[in-house]
């Protein structure tokens, strides 16, 4: 399938560029402490820059396939709008990483900038297809569920699109800080969206999803325990923006919300600490992590299951996300793409 070429291009690009990038970051002093290790080793930062380049090359390969080879059919206006939104949000994340996570962009600015970055999508999505909303009327009897059809029209573009982009970007930025966690969550969520996009013929959404998945898979090779590079806000914000963009242009808003349930729980937990809480555990001499007495993150609840190494804690969280993704795919399959996609 030609649609898989962006995935391969993104993987190869990041695998090729990341090793010399890690070396250069260490030479230039762009390193951060790995807070979940007892000896706090220094790890190269700004890995999100290479992840974005891999994603960009993936998207560009799709454009080449469409424009020069006519191998796939793409709405280029929609593609460039989505790419611009993801690029601007990634840029904000990388700037935040350069400034420093203690003195970087404030939380209210994290909420504001994605709204501005959503403008390209707002411009091309003047109207949306009708969406089913629970308990607002009843669908034809064949669906047998209390859903009503609502068309938001231009309100969707002006209000719901920026809210979706902002919400997803900030949600993915909350649950982070353990080796492999951000990339792993992004791969699982976007893979679910990619499968549904391909099955339903939403090619533009599939191109974005597969390009980011490829970049994240290659990044995970370097970010898995023990991490050689951190992705920072560049990766988390790009992943969130990608999830929002794929969900919006693929008419899968409800699916996107369901898939982000763990991240929205994290958003709630961080809100209780006025967004001052952290995901880090307390490293022990035997290499395990234990949760602090005052739990501020989902990571702490998964640590509380039992003392475990960082890698095991991440696997626990990823397994929970995998279950959510599997449930969504089963529901979509059983309903023949009808109920969730409407």
Domain span at 106: 2-260
Q: What is the DSSP letter of 35?
A: T
pLDDT in tens, 226-255: 999 999 999 999 999 999 999 989 888 889
Tell me if 211 is assigned to some domain: yes
- For the beta carbon of residue 169, count every other beta carbon within 10 angstroms: 32
Residue 336 lies in a domain: no
Residue with tokens 């970007």: 169
pLDDT in tens, 283-323: 998 989 999 988 899 999 999 998 789 999 999 999 999 99
The single-letter DSSP state of residue 101 is: T
Number of domains the chain contains: 1
Beta-strand pair 31-33/42-44: antiparallel
* The 3-state secondary structure of 207-249, one letter per residue: HHHHHHHHHHHHHHHHHCCCCCECCHHHHHHHHHHHHHHHHHH
Q: Are residues 342 and 132 in contact, defined by beta-carbon separation less than 8 angstroms?
A: yes
- Distance from C-alpha of 160 to C-alpha of 325, rounded to nearest angstrom: 24
Q: What ranges make up the beta strands (E) of the chain? A: 31-33, 42-44, 131-134, 147-150, 282-283, 288-290, 308-309
User: What span, in angstroms and rounded, lies between the C-alpha atoms of 109 and 304?
Assistant: 33
Residue 106, judged by CB atoms within 10 A of its CB (0-12, 13-18, 19+), counts as exposed
Q: Is residue 308 classed as helix, strand or coil in its secondary structure? A: strand
Note the pLDDT tens digit of each residue in 202-218. 999 999 999 999 999 99
Q: What is the pTM of this model?
A: 0.88
Using a pLDDT cut of 90, give the percent of the chain over it: 58
How far apart CA 145 and CA 142 sit, in angstroms, is 9
CA distances from 272 to 72, 90, 296, 299 (A): 47, 27, 8, 15
In a domain, 36, yes or no: yes
In a domain, 288, yes or no: no
pLDDT (tens digit, 9 = 90+) per residue, 21-65? 999 999 999 999 999 998 999 999 999 999 999 999 999 999 999
């Amino acid at each position: 399938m030609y649609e898989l070429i962006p995935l391969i291009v993104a993987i190869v690009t990041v695998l090729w560029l990341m090793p010399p990038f890690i070396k250069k970051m260490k030479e230039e002093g762009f390193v951060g402490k790995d807070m979940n290790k007892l000896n706090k080793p220094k790890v190269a930062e700004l890995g999100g820059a290479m992840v974005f380049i891999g994603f960009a090359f993936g998207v560009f390969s799709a454009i080449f396939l469409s424009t020069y080879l006519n191998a796939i059919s793409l709405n280029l206006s929609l593609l460039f709008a989505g790419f611009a939104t993801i690029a601007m949000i990634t840029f904000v994340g990388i700037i935040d990483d350069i400034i420093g996570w203690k003195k970087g962009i404030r939380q209210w600015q994290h909420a504001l900038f994605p709204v501005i970055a959503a403008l390209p999508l707002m411009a091309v999505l003047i109207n949306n297809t009708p969406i089913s909303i629970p308990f607002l009327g009843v669908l034809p009897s064949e669906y047998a569920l209390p859903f009503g059809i609502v068309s938001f029209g231009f309100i969707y573009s002006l209000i719901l699109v920026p809210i979706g982009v902002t919400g997803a970007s900030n949600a993915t930025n909350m649950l982070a800080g353990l080796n492999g966690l951000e990339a792993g969550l992004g791969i699982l969520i976007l893979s679910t969206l990619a499968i549904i996009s391909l099955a339903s013929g939403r090619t533009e959404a599939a191109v974005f999803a597969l390009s980011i998945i490829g970049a994240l898979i290659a990044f995970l090779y370097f970010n898995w325990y023990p991490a050689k590079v951190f992705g920072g806000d560049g990766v988390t914000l790009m992943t969130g923006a990608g999830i929002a963009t794929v969900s919006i242009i693929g008419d899968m808003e409800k699916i996107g919300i369901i898939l982000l349930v763990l991240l929205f729980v994290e958003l709630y937990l961080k809100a209780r600490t006025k967004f001052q809480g952290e995901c880090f555990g307390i490293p022990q001499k035997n290499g395990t992590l234990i949760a602090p007495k005052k739990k501020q993150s989902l990571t702490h609840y998964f640590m509380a299951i039992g003392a475990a190494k960082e890698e095991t804690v991440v696997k626990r969280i990823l397994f929970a996300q995998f279950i959510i993704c599997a449930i969504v795919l089963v529901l979509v399959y059983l309903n023949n793409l009808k109920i969730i996609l409407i």
